[in-house]
Structure 1
């Protein structure tokens, strides 16, 4: 009697002989961390080194919320200027899933939102802007990116890549989301950019480096720019829902003044020589809001399928039922609190 392994080998040879493909073991689905790394943007950060509040350009570096070693939002302006304080690059992310799409939010943090003149504009401690990518689960390993919505202060801007099937919905598509190849992996990544000082975020080149600037690349390691004109700096991706992470600290009153809004005060010279300094003036992703649009406060991150349907016309629609959404357990509380939370003007 032939052994089972011999029978299998004979059967395989017979299939090959008649030209039939031999089924391969199914590839493991990517983890959420792998999805986030695959679609993370190549990020252009404009840098302004003028004025004392610029810290020689360091005030425009992206970094961790706890870059200074603690989770006190009211000392970040002050600590950003202290010698030896780390400005290692980091970007936060969260993933939500339906049967039809993945939605990945990326959050960019700066310790200062600053100005270098005394007229009209205010500055404030902490700054949080970002972007949400909607990725169709088309059967390929990582899917295909169909649309994006970015946060620039209190306004949202929508984009589609060339060839996307998504088009203008209730909101007009504001431009094309371009791609570039990273020297640190084999993928083509979307390209985003932030302005200096106020750090509004849009698709590149709607914002672009003007003179000095940093180009950040997604990675699993965190590097610190050599100066304000470093064109190859890797940033580390950090899961918002990691144990002890940003979401776990959402009720920490040293870090957050109220739902999704970072605590910040006027200490350390914020507002000195300028029009003024705002307090409690920056948002985490679950606090982002474009008050002129239908989606509620935070829904760009907490209910991205709903926001996508509002912003885009989508052939075939999208599933509105989440198979994974770590914000869902707190959705009712978030919705109720959002109705009474003060609107933050970033």
Structure 2
């Protein structure tokens, strides 16, 4: 029999909360106020089909369907172009009010603010490599220096699959790390409104971002005003935009998949250096031009940074710490990051919402994760849950290990919690089950705590769950059935140590 281990943990929380706090005085402004203070001035070039370069929201056409954004953008006519007939956009089909998406992640020492610009079409009728949907990003790093809004340190701009790095004005003490700054000149700051507003320039057609104007094309100048305006209504020199939350407008819809009638075409996983999130939309659905070519922020990637897809957005503290050398204290511990929590449910590869089937070596880091439907690890596959991880079970849900669950609690207690009352019980109505031919094992010094109707058992007598005295606890309502015998007496105040060598992989 193959040896499978169950590494159930959420070490990220141990990592986050055990270190001494480094943050300066608590902010006196909300995240929304912070985002408004640093909101960029956006100079958008217009080429080919000019209205196709207007920024707007993903559901500008009244729905969250990804593959109708091209068709709903323009009125098309069939015209002869050279020797062939093509559908050519001749006029704008509907208003395009201006919006910019945002998120804020806060560490003990810094804020990481992401802004994202959405266009329904990339290069509409400009090139043969057009595609439906386009999302490009800006990331600002702000030091929490004790003032209400902090101090802007760096600005990074996305041009397709490359990120470009710039310092804020007056910054001389942030130096190259694994990445180089792309200019010795800082970004420009617009002073039209109170705040610190970096000016970014957006290329027409392809929508890549840059810090300087290349000139030669007409442009729209967008300012944050809290009012979403259409350039065709107010002129090109001063167009107001409003802000939309990435969490509310994209992340909450991350399982809206797959294909026609949905926002995303495929589901996948973010597998970062410190944590992973599974079952999330990987590409916006798009059928015109190059299929499914646009990514949400958690799938953005720099071609040459050597880091996982999505790291820039999902784990910005780790990303920025690697990219640059900072003169101020720089903490990797998060005060607020809404993207590290996730649910385990749904087939993450085939886009169905039902029993999760995890394939290959899947690692859950940090969390917490919530099991909201049965999770099955197939034979010869592994689910690794790292030290300190908290795994929450909805009532009646199970993890079934036909393959391996690898648990190693040496650096942090493994915690199972109830979704109904996490403070009262570590696992409620949860079942860890070794499937036929599977084995649930725990490494040396691993620790588990069971409470309130928790079951640890094998489906068959051949499914061994080694248990010995010394470490861990289970209350009188919990059951330990190492050999699959469900009639075994519940363990009352049992102390035990679960031990197996860590599976080499």
Equivalences for 1:297-316 in 2 at 5 Å?
297-316=309-328
Q: Deviations over 1:265-303 (max 9, x none)?
A: 02xxxxxxxxxx200000111110013213211111111
Gaps of 5+ in 1: 1-25, 267-276, 341-346
SS at match of 1:283: coil
> Shift of residue 169 of structure 1?
1.4
Q: Measure, in 2, the Cα distance between the counterparts of 1:246 and 1:128.
A: 12
Corresponding residue to 2:252 among 248, 253, 269: 248
> Shift of residue 260 of structure 1?
3.3
Q: Measure, in 2, the Cα distance between the counterparts of 1:264 and 1:171.
A: 33
Q: Identify the residue that residue 54 of structure 2 maps to in structure 1.
A: 61
Q: Identify the residue that residue 159 of structure 1 maps to in structure 2.
A: 166
Q: Measure, in 1, the Cα distance between the counterparts of 2:316 and 2:322.
A: 10
Corresponding residue to 2:191 among 175, 181, 190: 181
Query: Is the counterpart of residue 288 in structure 1 residue 281 in structure 2?
Result: no
Q: Identify the residue that residue 195 of structure 1 maps to in structure 2.
A: 203
Query: Is the counterpart of residue 262 in structure 1 residue 268 in structure 2?
Result: no
Q: Measure, in 1, the Cα distance between the counterparts of 2:27 and 2:303.
A: 41
Q: Measure, in 2, the Cα distance between the counterparts of 1:314 and 1:97.
A: 17
> Shift of residue 27 of structure 1?
9.5
Contact 2:109 2:331 in 1 (8 A): yes
Q: Deviations over 1:34-91 (max 9, x none)?
A: 011111101110001x3xxx1xx10000000000000111000110104551200000
CA RMSD between the two structures? 2.5
Q: Measure, in 1, the Cα distance between the counterparts of 2:333 and 2:292.
A: 34
SS at match of 1:79: helix
Q: Identify the residue that residue 108 of structure 2 maps to in structure 1.
A: 99
Q: Identify the residue that residue 133 of structure 1 maps to in structure 2.
A: 140
Residues 228, 195 of structure 1: alpha-carbon distance in 2 compared, 3 angstrom cutoff: farther
Equivalences for 1:198-237 in 2 at 5 Å?
198-203=206-211, 205=212, 207-226=213-232, 230-237=236-243
Question: What TM-score does the superposition give when structure 2 sets the normalisation length?
Answer: 0.54
Query: Is the counterpart of residue 46 in structure 1 residue 50 in structure 2?
Result: no
Considering fraction of residues, name the structure with more helix. 1
Residues 284, 117 of structure 1: alpha-carbon distance in 2 compared, 3 angstrom cutoff: closer
Query: Is the counterpart of residue 146 in structure 1 residue 145 in structure 2?
Result: no
Aligned structure 1 segments of 4 or more residues deviating by more than 2 angstroms: 115-118, 207-211, 226-229, 330-333
Question: What TM-score does the superposition give when structure 1 sets the normalisation length?
Answer: 0.78
Considering fraction of residues, name the structure with more strand. 2
Q: Identify the residue that residue 498 of structure 2 maps to in structure 1.
A: none
Q: Measure, in 1, the Cα distance between the counterparts of 2:39 and 2:129.
A: 31
Contact 1:125 1:281 in 2 (8 A): yes
Q: Measure, in 2, the Cα distance between the counterparts of 1:168 and 1:28.
A: 29
Gaps of 5+ in 2: 1-24, 76-91, 267-280, 350-358, 361-505
Larger Rg: 2
Higher relative contact order (CA 8 A, sep 6+): 1
Residues 193, 72 of structure 1: alpha-carbon distance in 2 compared, 3 angstrom cutoff: same
Contact 1:194 1:208 in 2 (8 A): no
Q: Measure, in 1, the Cα distance between the counterparts of 2:126 and 2:197.
A: 36
Q: Measure, in 1, the Cα distance between the counterparts of 2:124 and 2:62.
A: 26
Q: Measure, in 2, the Cα distance between the counterparts of 1:308 and 1:327.
A: 17
Q: Identify the residue that residue 23 of structure 1 maps to in structure 2.
A: none
Contact 2:44 2:53 in 1 (8 A): yes
Q: Measure, in 1, the Cα distance between the counterparts of 2:68 and 2:45.
A: 24
Q: Measure, in 2, the Cα distance between the counterparts of 1:301 and 1:134.
A: 12
